[in-house]
Amino acid sequence: MKELLGDAFTSKLERLGKEKSAEYLSNKPFPHMYFDNFLPVEAVEAALQDFPEPKEIKWSEFDNPNEKKLAFDVVERLPDSIRDVLYFLNSRPMLGFLEDLTGIKSLITDPYFVGGGLHQIKPGGKLGVHADFNYHEYLKVDRRINVLVYLNKDWKEEYGGHFELWDKEMSKAEVKVLPVFNRCAIFSTTSTSFHGHPNPLMCPPDRTRKSIATYYYSNGRPEEEVNDSHSTLFMKRPGEVVEEPQTSNSFKSFVRAVTPPILTDAYRSLRK
C-alpha cells in the first residue's frame, strides 16, 4: 500500500486527471481512455504473484452463450497484495483523479464490489458485448464509471482478449484494447456504452486473462442518460447468432458480498 499512497504516484494521478480530461470526454464511441504503466509496478507485480488460479478459490463461474468467465468479489478473503490494490482504487486520491478525468463529481465507491473484484477468463472464454447494470439496488445509486486494471504479462496480439468498445448502433467496434500488464481502461457507463471481450480467448492452455475491476456511482445522473433500472444488457454483433440475452448475476454477487462468511460456509456444507 505504501507504493500506492506515495506522494509521487498520487501527484501523477492528480496531474493525469486534469491533463487528460478533454481527451477522455471527446473520445468515441463514448468517453473512455486507457493508461499504460498505471499503478506502481511493485504493487501490480505483487497482486499478479498472488492472483488465485481457477481452482484455488471458489470463483463464481459464468457459463452461458453470452459469457464464459470466472469472477470473485469477496475482497476480504483475498491476499493483502490484491486487497491493497482494490482498496486503493476506492480511495480518496483515486476518486479525485476520476472526478477530474471524467467531470463527474461526488463519486461514490462500492464497498461491496458488486460485480467487480477479480475477473479471470480461461482459453475459449469470452464476455459478449453488453451494457452494464445501471443502478446499485442496495446503495440506491447510479453506476457511472468502470475501471479495469489488467495483469497479463507478455500478452501477445494473437492471444486476443481485446477489450472492445462498440458504437450505439452495434455496427462496429470503434476501439480495441489489448489487456496487457498494468494497463488501466476507464470508461463512462450508460445504457448504451456497449463493450466486451466477445471473441473466444486464444491464449495457450496454461494462461488466463486476468483483471481487477472497480465501479463508481453517483446520486443521480444527467437527464439525457436516465433510463429504467436494468441488469446487464447483452447485444448481438452484426451476423452473430446467440440465445436470448441473459440477465446478470449482480444480485447474487451482492447477496454473497453482504452475507457473513460463517453463514455462507454453513450453507455450502449443507449442500454437500
Q: How confident is the model at residue 7 (pLDDT cuts 50, 70, 90)?
A: confident
DSSP state of 76: G
pTM > 0.85: yes
Q: Which pLDDT tens digit goes with each residue over 109-141?
A: 999 999 999 999 999 999 999 999 999 999 999
Alpha carbons 63 and 79: distance in angstroms, whole number: 26
The CATH code of the domain at 7-271 is 2.60.120.620
Q: Which pLDDT tens digit goes with each residue over 170-220?
A: 999 999 999 999 999 999 999 999 999 999 999 999 999 999 999 999 999
Average pLDDT, the chain: 91
3-state secondary structure of 152: coil
User: Cell numbers of 75, please?
Assistant: 475482497
**Helices and strands (DSSP H and E) totals, the chain:** 6, 14
CB 236, CB 170: distance < 8 Å: yes
Alpha carbons 260 and 74: distance in angstroms, whole number: 11
Q: Which pLDDT tens digit goes with each residue over 44-100?
A: 999 999 999 999 999 999 999 999 999 999 999 999 999 999 999 999 999 999 999
Q: Which pLDDT tens digit goes with each residue over 226-250?
A: 999 999 999 999 988 876 544 444 4
3-state secondary structure of 120: strand
Alpha carbons 129 and 165: distance in angstroms, whole number: 8
* Confidence (pLDDT) at 6: 82
